[in-house]
Amino acid sequence: MATRNELLSARQSLRVAILAAEEWQESYKASPTTFRQLIELEAALETAVAEYLHELSSRAPGYVDWSRLPEPIKADAGPVLNNDDPVWKQEEILLTAAVIEIITQLVATGAIAGESLYGVPLGYTTLEFATLDEAIMRAARLHTADLVSRVTETTRKQIRESVAKSIALGEDAHAATIRLMDVIDNPIRAELISQTEPVNAYQTGLKHYAKTTGAVEKKWDGLPGACSLCAPLIGKTIPIDDLFKLSNGKEVDRPACHPRDRCGLIYIY
């Protein structure tokens, strides 16, 4: 029988093929090398998050005070360990460890793509070399911290909801534990989490490159019809640090604007 690692690696190769077949704005594909890196890193991020959630599912029942069941659960209180309990800090550390390298490489890939798109060399000869750039490391830390705190907050919410549902259904602690583990060990959630972050991190790296090499404006580059939220922005050119206004009123510096957003930016020097 195949081991879990073999299955994960087969799944990851399949994801690379699926991602490559999705509609990406042309600027992502201009350099086949960085496009390949981008989709491989997106698949790797998804695997890392799925593995984290899988392992978290066996820890999560320990974060519930089962002796307090079946007290009614309010929105922010209940038998789930509090926000300031040290276990959540520990979960954040574990998730950070699982993804920070991949996110650093995504930011670096965006910067390297800039070199091949715009031709001004910054000396990022290899991915390893680019990941040592202080600005890239700093940007990657910020992206990672943001991702990690969002994921952990959702995890706590999911635990609360799962326990509340068990109480509503009159389940005993055993059934409630199984329900909770199923809710947490969710590969679809890993896929959702991993859908916007690669484009975000890559675009951050590309912007770092563009600013460093003297770009002054940016033009939204999207696939007509691929995303109705961004479609009105296609071709719009604004100063490099201004924000694009989406049709829903939200303002963004760059893609991604929504899950699976594959829009790009063209920098103008």
Query: Under the rule (CB under 5 A), what is the footprint of Zn ion?
Result: 222, 227, 230, 261, 263
Question: In terms of CB distance, is 227 or 266 closer to Zn ion?
Answer: 227
* Closest separation in Å from C-beta 222 to Zn ion: 5
* Closest separation in Å from C-beta 109 to Zn ion: 19
Q: Which two tokens stand for residue 120?
A: 């001004």
Question: In terms of CB distance, is 61 or 264 closer to Zn ion?
Answer: 264
* Closest separation in Å from C-beta 28 to Zn ion: 12
Question: In terms of CB distance, is 198 or 222 closer to Zn ion?
Answer: 222
* Closest separation in Å from C-beta 258 to Zn ion: 7
* Closest separation in Å from C-beta 215 to Zn ion: 20
Question: In terms of CB distance, is 41 or 230 closer to Zn ion?
Answer: 230
Question: In terms of CB distance, is 178 or 243 closer to Zn ion?
Answer: 243
